[in-house]
């Protein structure tokens, strides 16, 4: 694997990636972190021309490859690709319409964070790994219509406001960021936080990380903490050395 020279702003120890390869590596790495509810889950990645890359319906995240990436517009119309557009894509489309600050959005039903979504509670933040990624986390009670309803999606995004992450009540999670690296960091930290809070509260009452300490990690959103995504991406490339090949 080609290694690039070290730079504080470079992708460390990874070959230069296309946008399609980035979204594939994001899906593969998050699958290992518990974002693995069968066919559920969608990722969108806004491009400079305003189109969105997304994963297709009918493929698991751990079998998704660059040739499977779909290109859609903000109306959800398929522009490129050979697979169906995911059913739940209206949530992403509304987000990208309303939030120009968001480049990447991840929706899924990870194992532990979905428990807290089902409870309608924000999990406690008990340690530094839970605080990584920064961002504001809110509860959104948006489960009031089918997943393909634009009206329901619009209400959910309006309820989310300017928050970076949401627990969708009785549904799952929605994680957003300005880059692949940042959304990966936030998504991993959210699931870690949810799991750790479950363990702590099963034993009793823990002491949450003080806000002053948590604030130290607000810059670790994947842009200020380079290397985390790269390490997990390299692990996927070791598992599947052909993953970045043009035709696999």
pLDDT tens per residue, range 130-178: 998 888 999 998 666 666 678 888 888 999 999 999 999 999 999 999 9
Distance CA 195, CA 47 (A): 33
Q: How many other C-beta atoms can be found within 10 angstroms of the C-beta atom of residue 62?
A: 15
Considering the domain delimited by 19-239, tell me its CATH architecture.
3-Layer(aba) Sandwich (3.40)
Distance CA 38, CA 61 (A): 8
Consecutive H or E run containing 85: none
Is the CB of residue 71 less than 8 Å from the CB of residue 52?
yes
Distance CA 234, CA 226 (A): 14
pTM: 0.91
DSSP 81: -
Is the CB of residue 188 less than 8 Å from the CB of residue 196?
no
Distance CA 157, CA 191 (A): 21
Q: Domain extents for the chain?
A: 19-239
Q: What is the pLDDT of residue 2?
A: 44
Instruction: Give the SS3 label for residue 226.
Output: coil
Q: Which two tokens stand for residue 114?
A: 């979905």
Q: What is the pLDDT of residue 4?
A: 41
Q: Which two tokens stand for residue 134?
A: 């920064």
Q: What is the pLDDT of residue 1?
A: 41
Q: What is the pLDDT of residue 5?
A: 42
Q: What is the pLDDT along the chain (248 residues), one digit of tens a residue?
A: 444 444 444 445 788 899 999 999 999 999 999 999 999 999 999 999 999 999 999 999 999 999 999 999 999 999 999 999 998 899 999 999 999 999 999 999 999 999 999 999 999 999 999 998 888 999 998 666 666 678 888 888 999 999 999 999 999 999 999 999 999 999 999 999 999 999 999 998 889 988 888 887 776 565 656 788 999 999 999 999 999 887 64
- Which residues are paired to 140 by β-bridges? 168
Closest C-alpha to 236, from 63, 3, 54, 10: 63
Q: Which two tokens stand for residue 197?
A: 């809070």
User: What count of residues does the chain have?
Assistant: 248
């Amino acid at each position: 694997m080609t290694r690039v020279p070290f730079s504080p702003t470079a992708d460390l120890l990874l070959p230069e990636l296309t946008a399609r390869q980035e979204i594939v590596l994001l899906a593969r790495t998050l699958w290992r972190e518990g974002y693995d509810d069968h066919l559920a889950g969608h990722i969108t990645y806004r491009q400079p021309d305003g189109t969105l890359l997304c994963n297709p319906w009918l493929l698991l995240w751990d079998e998704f490859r660059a040739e499977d990436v779909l290109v859609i517009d903000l109306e959800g119309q398929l522009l490129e690709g050979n697979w169906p557009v995911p059913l739940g894509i209206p949530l992403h489309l509304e987000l990208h319409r309303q939030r120009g600050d968001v480049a990447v959005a991840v929706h899924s039903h990870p194992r532990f964070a979905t428990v807290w979504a089902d409870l309608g509670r924000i999990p406690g933040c008990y340690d530094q790994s839970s605080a990584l990624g920064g961002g504001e986390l809110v509860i959104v009670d948006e489960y009031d219509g089918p997943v393909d309803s634009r009206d329901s999606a619009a209400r959910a995004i309006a309820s989310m406001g300017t928050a970076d992450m949401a627990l969708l009540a009785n549904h799952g999670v929605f994680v957003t960021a300005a880059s692949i690296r940042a959304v990966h960091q936030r998504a991993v930290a959210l699931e870690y936080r949810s799991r750790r809070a479950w363990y702590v509260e099963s034993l009793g009452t823990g002491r949450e990380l003080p806000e002053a300490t948590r604030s130290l990690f607000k810059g670790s959103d994947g842009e200020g903490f380079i290397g985390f995504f790269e390490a997990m991406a390299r692990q996927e490339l070791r598992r599947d050395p052909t993953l970045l090949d043009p035709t696999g």
